Amino acid sequence: MSKIKIKDYWNSRLGVILAVSGSAVGLGNFLRFPGQVAEYGGGAFMVAYFISFLLLGLPVCWAEWVLGRRGGNLGFNSGPSILAAVVQKPRYRYLGIVAVVIPTVIYMYYVLIEAWCLAYAVNYLFGDMNFANSGEASAFFGNLVGINENGSAISFGLSQVGFYALIVFLLNFLLIYRGISRGIEIVCKWGMPTLVILAFVVLIRVLTLGTPDPEHPERSINNGLGFMWNPTKVVLQERPAEDVVWQTVPVDQLFPGDSPERRAAVQARAQGDDNLRLVEISIWAQLARPQLWLAAASQIFFSLSVGFGVIIIYASYLRRRDDVVLSGLTASSTNGFCEVALGGLISIPAAVAFFGVSGLAAIGLSSFGIGFNALPMVFAQMPAGMFFGFLFFFLLFLAALTSSLSMLQPGVAFLEESLSINKRQAVALLGFITATGGSFVLYFSEDLKALDTIDYWVNNLLMVSLATITILIFGWVIGVKEGLRQANRGALLKLPKAFGWIMKYVTPLFLVVILGRWILADVVGLSFGVGGDGVVNKYVKDLLGQPNLIAWAQAGFGVGEPNLIAWLSVGLMGLVACFVLLNLLPASRFYRTLDEGEKGREESK
């Protein structure tokens, strides 16, 4: 049996930094992040966000860089083998299965969202996006993605997603076939700077909008920024009925620059309705909400691509003394800049300037609500809106492209290594697997049930699980002392010793709390809020009906009808996991490759 070689390396440190940044900088930065900031208190959310970045994002990120480089130097480039190699125990391959499953199944639906962005950009380029109201914008989105009926998305007109999905799918596999240095690295070296330049152009236009409608002076860019960043807020809250918890997303908000007449009008509105109240919320009251911290931690996962199975693979193509500390910090900081300074300053201020806080609350703060329903209305009312709409959605397409490429490399590396096949064969096989899964998601488009189900279980269960496995291996299996020694090899910036304590105790505890809280709140249905009963998550209901503890104890199921599409979606994930399990690198070849890797490492000293 011939030695399994590392076939490709990064050409430069800049290349790997931009590639990892490209993996992280995606739709979450420009769509998900603004909604999270607005929903969870603006300035208070940012405090929790930066703390989560330091205690969760950076530690897991550095652990993945260190483990990946170590595994790559030993001759391995797939998640299962890397985790086994760093501890030199083949049974750890089974823990690494999830590192292949996560990026593979995410790609199956992410490539469709990438196609949505390209479709919007093309339709803006042709001037077909001049909507008169939000209903028209929502109807266009629904028709594009086939939200009303299964199978309706498989169409090939300019306003249907099928044509764009085919283009995007072929483009991704053409680029991944070119490999690390000639494919991913080149795309990210050109794509990331272009993305940032386009984002700055759109951002400058948004920040110079001022007050678009003089009849509504409260609808301004300044107030949009205040809505995002003010740590203390004076908000008008609503509750649907008496004895119901007040909604956290305000229906209106007072800002320091508001006129006395507007303040009086908002106060009168609150006094005239028992289901409205005007309250001042301090930053400390906002930080006391556990949901805020959990949302901030989830956003860090989503945006930094930690627990994703990508960084550990990219790092395996590093040389023995390539810097991982500074590279990891730079890539994470680049993502943070794009998320906070670009994505956060485009969507919410623009939406507030045109719709006000009450209009924003009515639209909703979900990723799709802001990106594909609210922003088209902003561009429709903005001078040269078709041009800036094209720039924005082409920007989203570039961000999605650099991210989707990263999702394919773990699968290609796994197939090359485990099946001993060449890159062309690995790309073809992975193309068949992801095309099958992508077609499933594309066909079952009604209410986006398949897409939402896969996204929910991967993000809330699998990603947190992989991050927990990674940080426990770093801090407890190979040990913090050895982990820091490996991290600092070749590092221009040494990893502080204090992070050893954080990576061994604080980060694992943080992750266990996140996973435990999710299980208790969303699966079991316990309430962590003030007032009201716990509510079981709809995705759990789709699989088990309405969970009932007595029913579970007797028969293992809940009350109500499970959803067939949800079960098929979870089954698709299970099939991918079974495929990976059945094709793991055999233990005999694992040991042989490990021995050869150790000998090669000794000879290179």
Q: How far is CA 605 from CA 23, 331, 599, in A?
A: 32, 28, 10
Give the pLDDT of residue 595: 78
Give the pLDDT of residue 396: 87
d(CA 244, CA 240): 7
More confident position, 580 or 250:
580
Reported pTM: 0.87
Provide the mean pLDDT of the chain. Answer: 84
| Structure token pair of residue 219 | 């609808």
pLDDT at 306 over 90: no
Give the pLDDT of residue 64: 96
At residue 249 the predicted structure's pLDDT band, cuts being 50, 70 and 90, is low
> Over 177-196, what HEC string results?
HCHHHHHHHHHHHHHHHHHH
Give the pLDDT of residue 601: 56
pLDDT per residue as tens digits for the range 217-238: 888 888 888 888 888 888 888 8
Q: Which of the residue ranges 109-113, 334-338, 445-449 would you say has the lowest mean pLDDT?
A: 334-338
| Percent of the chain clearing pLDDT 70 (strictly above) | 86
Q: How far is CA 353 from CA 223, 233, 280, 346, 579, in A?
A: 8, 18, 22, 11, 50
Give the pLDDT of residue 10: 64
Location of structure tokens 């407890």: 476
pLDDT at 527 over 70: no
More confident position, 97 or 22:
97
Helices 161-177 and 385-419: crossing angle in degrees, nearest 10, is: 50
pLDDT at 604 over 70: no
| Structure token pair of residue 218 | 């409260």
Q: Are strands 233-238 and 276-281 parallel, antiparallel or unpaired?
A: antiparallel
At residue 285 the predicted structure's pLDDT band, cuts being 50, 70 and 90, is confident
Q: What is the mean pLDDT of residues 281-286?
A: 87
Q: What angle do CA 519, 105, 97 make, to 5 degrees?
A: 75
pLDDT per residue as tens digits for the range 390-415: 988 998 898 888 888 889 999 999 99
Give the pLDDT of residue 471: 96
d(CA 60, CA 56): 6
Give the pLDDT of residue 591: 81
Residues contacting 517, CB < 8 A, separation 6+ = 290, 294, 528
Greatest mean pLDDT range, 179-183, 248-252, 350-354: 350-354
Q: How does 475-504 read in b/e, with b if 16+ C-beta sit within 10 Å?
A: beebebeebbebbebbbeeebeeebbebbb
| Structure token pair of residue 502 | 């954080």
Say if residue 19 is exposed, middle or buried (CB neighbours under 10 Å; 0-12, 13-18, 19+).
Answer: buried
At residue 4 the predicted structure's pLDDT band, cuts being 50, 70 and 90, is very low
Q: Which of the residue ranges 178-192, 276-290, 546-560 would you say has the lowest mean pLDDT?
A: 546-560
- Which residues face 278 on adjacent strands? 236
**Which DSSP string do the residues of 328-358 spell out, in sequence order?**
HHHHHHHHHHIIIIIIHHHHHHHHHHHHHHH
| Structure token pair of residue 494 | 């040494």
More confident position, 165 or 518:
165
Give the pLDDT of residue 366: 54
DSSP assignment, residue 559?
B
pLDDT at 566 over 80: yes
d(CA 407, CA 132): 38
At residue 575 the predicted structure's pLDDT band, cuts being 50, 70 and 90, is very high
Give the pLDDT of residue 571: 96
pLDDT per residue as tens digits for the range 87-128: 999 999 999 999 999 999 999 999 999 999 999 999 999 988
pLDDT at 453 over 60: yes
More confident position, 255 or 450:
450
pLDDT per residue as tens digits for the range 24-39: 677 888 888 887 887 7
Give the pLDDT of residue 164: 95
d(CA 320, CA 66): 10
Give the pLDDT of residue 504: 96
Give the pLDDT of residue 259: 82
* Dihedral sign for Cα atoms in the order 311, 316, 319, 321: positive
Q: How far is CA 45 from CA 68, 201, 270, 365, 443, in A?
A: 32, 26, 26, 15, 37
Give the pLDDT of residue 363: 57
At residue 187 the predicted structure's pLDDT band, cuts being 50, 70 and 90, is confident
Contact status, residue 525 vs residue 536, Cβ threshold 8 Å: yes
pLDDT at 80 over 90: yes
Give the pLDDT of residue 531: 37
Give the pLDDT of residue 122: 95
pLDDT per residue as tens digits for the range 491-516: 888 988 888 999 999 999 999 988 88
At residue 427 the predicted structure's pLDDT band, cuts being 50, 70 and 90, is very high
d(CA 404, CA 398): 10
d(CA 208, CA 220): 10
Q: What is the mean pLDDT of residues 353-378?
A: 69
Give the pLDDT of residue 17: 67
More confident position, 250 or 51:
51
User: Of the candidates 346, 356, 408, which has an alpha carbon nearest to the alpha carbon of residue 379?
Assistant: 346
Longest CA span, the chain: 82
For the chain, domains (ranges, CATH) are 13-211+286-604 (1.20.1740), 233-281 (no CATH)
